[in-house]
Amino acid sequence: MSTGIRIALGGTAAVYCIHDRQKREVTDVGHVRLLGLQRGQQFDSRIHKVQLCPCCENLHVRLDDIPHYCPVCSGRPVHPVGGPLPEPQGVL
């Protein structure tokens, strides 16, 4: 009979876009509606169009059907495209 030590690692990884927004965090229309209500905005499906941001892949609301980045990804990039990633925090 052999004895040994088995080590298992666990955790959760988060992926961020170049604008430092977490990817795929807002993925359903109910979540979009809840975030709007928290900001005092009413969501009307006849007026508002839900769009998927091509950068962070989060849903956001616009008044038109023209594809746009979300408000966070419309600004300047925080990280260079293809550049080195910052060191993760809290990892041993």
| Alpha-carbon dihedral angle through residues 39, 43, 49, 50, given to the nearest 10 degrees | 60
When pLDDT is cut at 50, 70 and 90, the band that residue 92 belongs to is low
List, for residues 21-58, the tens digit of each pLDDT value. 999 999 998 888 888 888 888 878 788 889 999 999 99
Question: What pLDDT, on a 0 to 100 scale, did the predictor assign at position 68?
Answer: 92
Token digits of residue 49: 């169009």
Higher pLDDT among residues 84 and 30, named by residue? 30
Contacts of 30 (CB under 8 A, 6+ apart): none
Nearest to 59 by CA among 44, 70, 67, 43: 70
The pLDDT score that the predictor gives to residue 90 is 65
| Model confidence at 83: pLDDT above 80 | no
The pTM of the whole model exceeds 0.75: no
Partnered with residue 50 across adjacent β-strands are 61
Share of the chain above pLDDT 70, in %: 86
Q: Where are the domains of the chain?
A: 15-75
